[in-house]
Structure 1
Amino acid sequence: MSEYEHQMSTPEKAPPVGFSENAANRVAALIAQQGNPNLKLRLSVSGGGCSGFQYSFDFDEEQKDDDIVVERNGVTLLVDNMSLLYLMGSEVDFVEDLVGASFQVKNPNATSSCGCGTSFAI
């Protein structure tokens, strides 16, 4: 067990990136539709978008050695170390409203974000 995994198994330690129950349930449903139980949700940050940085959600079967792993309700969220620099303290949520349904990142590090919620500035 790695140092990080040991820290994550301690109840008083919060994960560096939160993963809401709504998001975990939606990911579980999407994985079931794909028929591949090995899929994990990967959240990453890259340069671009209308505000400077943008979030990207992808399914990935492979977990890298330096990935941050957050598990909830049997679903795994992966975040690479570079993206974690911009995501520390964030929470991934799944929101359904009149406009539609989408994964959203509630990022306390972002000083501004675009109207679509996929791009942000620090």
Structure 2
Amino acid sequence: MSIALSPAAAARVATIAARQGKTGLKLRLSVDGGGCAGFQYKFGLDDAATDDDTEVTTDGVGLLVDSVSLPFVEGATVDYVESLGGAAFQVKNPNAASNCGCGTSFSV
């Protein structure tokens, strides 16, 4: 697989979908220029894939990545992490040469 969605992340998306009364809600990951390290991850929720999306499914929940963002996150895992500092989706990206302290920004 080109990218993976952890069971914890899939469970969180399913919880969000249930609270919103929606079925089939998918997590969308994209990479934009900017952030303190050069690139930043952006997360959103979407009802459906587009023609240029790659979709992977874990426990019935889809992760969507557009074709422009995919090379930056190839081989990565999207996880959901809860800690004393808060809870958030997190990308474990083998392509990132460095990460910002905030966890949403990276360089290649």
Shorter-chain TM-score above 0.5: yes
Task: Answer yes or no: is 1:18 the counterpart of 2:4.
Answer: yes
Task: Answer yes or no: is 1:31 the counterpart of 2:11.
Answer: no
SS where residue 82 of structure 1 aligns?
coil
SS where residue 85 of structure 1 aligns?
helix
Percent identity reads 57
Note the C-alpha offset of 1:66: 1.8
Where is the strand percentage greater, Structure 1 or Structure 2? Answer: 2
CA-atom RMSD, angstroms? 0.8
Separation in 1 of the partners of 2:58 and 2:48?
A: 18
Higher CA-based Rg: 1
Deviates more, 1:103-112 or 1:58-67: 58-67
Residues 42-70 of structure 1: per-residue CA shift (max 9 Å, x gap)? 00001010100000000111311121011
Note the C-alpha offset of 1:39: 1.9
Note the C-alpha offset of 1:97: 1.0
Q: Which residue of 2 aligns with 1:56?
A: 42
Unaligned residue ranges in structure 1 (runs of 5+): 1-14
Task: Answer yes or no: is 1:82 the counterpart of 2:68.
Answer: yes
Q: Which amino acid aligns with 1:103?
A: F
Separation in 1 of the partners of 2:36 and 2:57?
A: 31
Aligned residue pairs: how many? 108
What TM-score do you get using the length of structure 2 for normalisation?
0.96
Where is the helix percentage greater, Structure 1 or Structure 2? Answer: 1
Divergent runs of 4+, >3 A: none
Q: Which residue of 1 aligns with 2:105?
A: 119
Q: Which residue of 1 aligns with 2:87?
A: 101
Residues 88-122 of structure 1: per-residue CA shift (max 9 Å, x gap)? 00000001111111100000100111111000000
Task: Answer yes or no: is 1:91 the counterpart of 2:77.
Answer: yes
